[in-house]
Amino acid sequence: MKIAVMGTGHVGLVTSVALASLGHRVVGTDVDGEKISLLKRGACPFYEPGLEEALRREMSAGRLAFTPEESDALRDAEAIFICVGTPARSNGEANLVAMESSARAIARHARDGVVVIEKSTVPAGTAERVRDTLARERSGFTFDVASNPEFLREGTALHDALEPDRIVIGVESGRARDVLRRLYGPLTERGHLLIETDIATAELAKHASNAFLALKISFANALARVCERAGADITAVAGIMGTDPRIGRAFLNAGLGYGGYCFPKDLIALERLAARLGYEFPLLREVERLNDEAVQVAAAKIEEVLWNLEDKRIALLGLSFKPGTDDVRLSPALALAGRLLSAGARVIGFDPRALANAKQELPELEVAGDAYEAARDAHCLVLATEWDEFGALDLDALREVMAYPIVVDARNALDPARCAAAGFAYYPMGRPPVLPDPSSASLAEGRREALVPTPEELTR
């Protein structure tokens, strides 16, 4: 099929590449001319594992192209995906100006019979607005509107698009249903689940999914506060909870909380939608408050460990809002860095992918070329984003270059016993700290043993 994709951000570009990979002919367009120029050279404007390689492959095969001219992209398309941004307004509601602008462009340039598909995350009722705009802008225009929300995770977005756990389509006409079934035929033929529903349900499903995942994260962080006071271990508690299939273990990790572009804005957008419809949803505001509290708690823990933050050097490992991406939008790691800097600390950060973006977002942050450089002369090392490579660091080498042997694991991602064995005082979130044994014979050699019983000792 001939497909046009409006918007080449994280959702639009992944959608373009994925649809081309399924055999469709795709043309992407964007109001950002510089981004289009970059894409036409086969380069991605952001990091997403495997995306740039797939982009170049599909462009070389002739299935994927980009143009700054909306008319060129829309004119011959059988289906048009709207993948533009829907950022939050000052009152928390979704800003749908780009959605309206896209609908107006479609009315000007698209052919009769086109199916217009919402891919952007939008409040329920947006399709009706798109439909009204199309009809008002072009008398006699024939079209169909559908909803096809994305469920992509940054860091695994291309995989999620090509191996989805569900494909949701909201349709209210036979033609729209047929087009979307054809679009995703290569996936459904491989057994991927297709859920067909009405448009309002499809629109609401994405907001509801993100809000519930945010709820699980905030619940885990609140429970971590209780665990610390009770002397319990949040990771063990969450593990026990997760064995219940009604609950599940995913998204019950305590730490710095959620960030990024989607969860914060989608949570409040759902709350504002509910309020506009006449229903107060205070639980969603509490989820947001608990998420903000997680960063405050981590900052307080660091201050408690170091006594005073003034003139302390703190190494911050991880700056992106999650591993696998260079996205620092609403990153909890940067929020923590900002708090520490405001308290007088000197913060040196390292991230495998997000250094440039982090520096642009928080200019006063110092950045290092690797974890060991960041840790040099540091009074505390803080793990703020759980990149896999941080778990493989040489702890002895880190200990040698640091001023104080202190680790605050704000993601509970490191091995407590390994840290203590390397001579570190280890402070996690919602778990008891693990301190090195001062009587260890290896202390004189720069190593200390963990006060954690071995499996053999437990069975004696």
pLDDT digits (tens, 9 = 90+) for 25-56: 999 999 999 999 999 999 999 999 999 999 99
What pLDDT is recorded for position 437? Answer: 75
- In this structure, the number of other CB atoms found within 10 A of the CB of residue 314 comes to 25
pLDDT in the model for residue 284 = 98
Structural contact between residues 74 and 80, judged by C-beta atoms closer than 8 angstroms: yes
Catalytic residue among 44, 83, 227, 262: 262
Task: Identify the CA nearest to 337 among candidates 357, 307, 310, 317.
Answer: 317
Consecutive H or E run containing 347? strand 346-350
Residue 309 has pLDDT above 60, yes or no: yes
Paired with 316 in beta bridges are 349, 382
Q: Is 262 a catalytic residue?
A: yes
Q: Residues 414-431: what's their mean pLDDT?
A: 97
Alpha helices, H only, 190-244:
199-230, 234-242
Would the CA dihedral through 157, 158, 161, 162 be positive or negative? negative
Given the candidates 3.30.70.100, 3.40.50.2300, 3.30.460.80, 3.40.50.720, the CATH classification of the domain at 2-197 is 3.40.50.720
Rounded Cα gap, residues 166 and 189, in angstroms: 13
* Same fold across 2-197 and 200-460: yes
Residue extents of the structural domains in the chain: 2-197, 200-460
121 backbone φψ class: left, alpha, beta (φ>0; ψ -120 to 50): beta
pLDDT tens for each residue of 131-159: 999 999 999 999 999 999 999 999 999 99
Given a cut of 90, is residue 246 above it in pLDDT? yes
Chain segment 189-241, per-residue pLDDT in tens: 999 999 999 999 999 999 999 999 999 999 999 999 999 999 999 999 999 99
Query: The CATH number of 200-460 is which of 3.40.1030.10, 3.20.20.140, 3.40.50.720, 3.40.50.960?
Result: 3.40.50.720
Alpha-carbon span 65 to 27, nearest angstrom: 5
3-state DSSP helix/strand/coil % of the chain, to nearest 5: 45, 15, 40
- pLDDT of amino acid 443: 41
State the CB neighbour count (10 A cutoff) for residue 62: 9
pLDDT at 439: 60
For the ranges 73-82, 327-336, 432-441, the lowest mean pLDDT is seen at 432-441
Report whether pLDDT(77) > 50. Answer: yes
- Give the global pTM: 0.92
Residue 457 has pLDDT above 50, yes or no: no
Tokens of 113: 């019979």
Cα 4 to Cα 132: distance, rounded to the nearest angstrom: 21
